[in-house]
Amino acid sequence: MPVTAKLSQAFYDRLGQQVAGEMVDWFNQVDTAYRSDLRELSELNFARFDAKLGQRFAESSLALERRLTEFSRGLDQRFAGLDPRFAGLDQRFGGLEREIAKLAVDLKDQLIVQTRWMIGIWVVVLVAVIGLWIRR
């Protein structure tokens, strides 16, 4: 975008139309040169910034990958140490499942007995209420 320099009439009168026109052209050339230099400088700075940003992302990605690998290795070691402990628990508490199954059967049997007693008591109460109702 060229610079449109509007100079005062006195300036045109003293220097003349030709000199003032050359001066405006020169200002426009300088402005164009500065703008193109500024554009090139900005593009170079952006390219450097983009390269540094890409490099930093790559470095952080490698660091994160390394940390995750170390973390995974540590978890594997801890789980490897826990496996023998769980194997020992399975041997130690293997009979526990049988005891729980036996307890479930015993509870079921006790529920049946309790239900029979409850029905028997309700029958006795019902017979007593009917007897009192008929007697009345």
Query: Are 87 and 103 part of one and the same domain?
Result: no
Query: Are 10 and 35 part of one and the same domain?
Result: yes
Query: Are 10 and 61 part of one and the same domain?
Result: yes
Query: Are 59 and 126 part of one and the same domain?
Result: no
pLDDT tens, residue by residue, 94-134: 677 888 889 999 999 999 999 999 999 999 999 999 999 99
Query: Are 5 and 40 part of one and the same domain?
Result: yes
| Domain residue limits at 126 | 95-136
Half-sphere exposure of 103 toward its Cβ, with a 13 Å CA cutoff?
A: 6
Burial class (CB in 10 A: 0-12, 13-18, 19+), 16: exposed
Query: Are 75 and 116 part of one and the same domain?
Result: no
Q: Which DSSP letter does residue 93 get?
A: T
Contact between 12 and 20 under an 8 Å Cβ cutoff? The reply is yes
Total structural domains in the chain?
2
pLDDT tens, residue by residue, 25-56: 888 888 889 999 999 999 999 999 999 999 99
Handedness of CA 80, 86, 91, 97 (dihedral sign): negative
Query: Are 4 and 68 part of one and the same domain?
Result: yes
